[in-house]
Amino acid sequence: MVSKKNRIVIALGGNALQANPKDTTAESQLVTAKNTAKPIVDLIQEGHEVIIAHGNGPQVGQIVATYEGAAQVNSSFPIMPFPECGAMSQGYIGYHLQQAIREEMLHRGIKKSVAALVTQVVVDKKDPAFENPTKPVGSFFTEEEAQRLVKEKGYAMKEDAGRGYRRVVPSPEPIDVVEAPIVKTLVDAGHVVITVGGGGVPVVDNGNGSLEGVAAVIDKDFASAKIAEILDADYLIILTAVEKVSINFNKPNQKDLSELTIEDVQKYIDEGHFAPGSMLPKVKAAAKFVKSKPGRRTLITSLEKAKEGIEGKTGTVIIS
C-alpha cells in the first residue's frame, strides 16, 4: 500500500492509450488518455511525485506502416528511419497524456506543470538481441516484397502467422537513460514528467561520446524499471489489462496472486507460467526494480483497479 509520500513511476500499458483496439484514431486515443489521467492525478493529489512511462506498439506501427504504404505507391518516397518513428510516437502520445493530465489537474485545482520529454535510452550494440530480431513492426508484405526489402534495405523479415511477411527488429535491454538528469531536475522541482515513451528511442554509444539511433524496440516495462532505478523511486506501478498476476492463466486451476517475492517470481518464470511479450517482461521488470535497492516495491494491476491497488485492496505487489 502506498501511504507515505513516495516517488512513483507509472508504466502505462496499451489499454491505457487505446481502449478499443479497433479504433486507432488520434481522437479516440485522446479520449482514452483523459480517462487514464484520473488514477494518475489521484496519486498527484495525494502528494506523491509521479513520473509516467508508456508503451507505443500500435502507434509506432501505424507511423511505420504509413511511410511504407506511401513508398509502395511512390517508390521515390523516402521511408522514415525507425528511430525517428519512435520519436514521433513519443511526441504525439506524450502530447495526449500531458493534455489529459493537465486538464484533470486543473479540474481539481492542482497547480502543477506537466511535460513530455522525448527520451533516448542507451543500449549495448553487442546485446544478443541484435543477433535475433523478434519484434514485428509496420505493414504486411508478400514474400516477393519481403525479399526485395531484405536486399534493398537490409531489413530482417519474418512470416507472421500466415498473414504475410513483416519487418522484425531487435529488443535489447536498456542500460541508461540519456535525459535522466533533466527528468530528475524537473521532478525535484515539483513537475510531472512523461518519459521513456515506448521504451525510449534506442541509441548506442559510438565510443567518442556521440550517440546513434538504432532500429530496435526497448520493452517499456524494462525502460520504466530503469528510469525508476535511476531516479531512486520508491514504487514502480505497472498498469496492464488484468487485475492481478496469475499462475495457470486461463486454465481451470488459475490462481491469482496478491503478493510475490523475488524468489516467487523466478520460480514461476522457471515453471513457464508467464507468456513472453505479455506478463513475462512485466514480472521480470518488477523483480529487477525491487532487487535494485532494499525497500522498493512494484505493483502490477489494471488501470481500472489502479486506485484500489494503490490502496492495497487488490493487484499484485512484488517485494524483496
Catalytic residue among 15, 55, 94, 226: 15
Q: What pLDDT, on a 0 to 100 scale, did the predictor assign at position 153?
A: 86
Distance CA 188, CA 159 (A): 47
Q: Does the active-site annotation cover 282? A: yes
Domain boundaries, the chain: 7-124+176-318, 134-169
Q: Does the active-site annotation cover 126? A: no
pLDDT (tens, 9 = 90+) of the chain, 320 residues, equals 455 688 999 999 876 887 777 788 888 889 999 999 998 999 999 999 999 999 998 888 889 889 888 888 888 888 899 999 999 999 999 999 999 999 999 999 999 999 999 999 999 999 999 999 998 888 889 999 899 889 988 899 999 888 899 999 999 999 999 999 999 999 999 999 999 999 999 999 988 889 999 999 999 999 999 999 999 999 999 998 899 999 999 899 999 999 999 999 999 999 999 988 789 999 999 999 999 999 999 999 988 887 788 788 999 999 98
Distance CA 16, CA 136 (A): 21
Catalytic residue among 6, 14, 34, 35: 14
Instruction: Give the residue from 19, 6, 203, 178 showing the smallest Cα distance to 96.
Output: 19
Q: What pLDDT, on a 0 to 100 scale, did the predictor assign at position 309?
A: 85
Catalytic residue among 13, 57, 86, 135: 135
CATH code: domain 7-124+176-318 is 3.40.1160.10
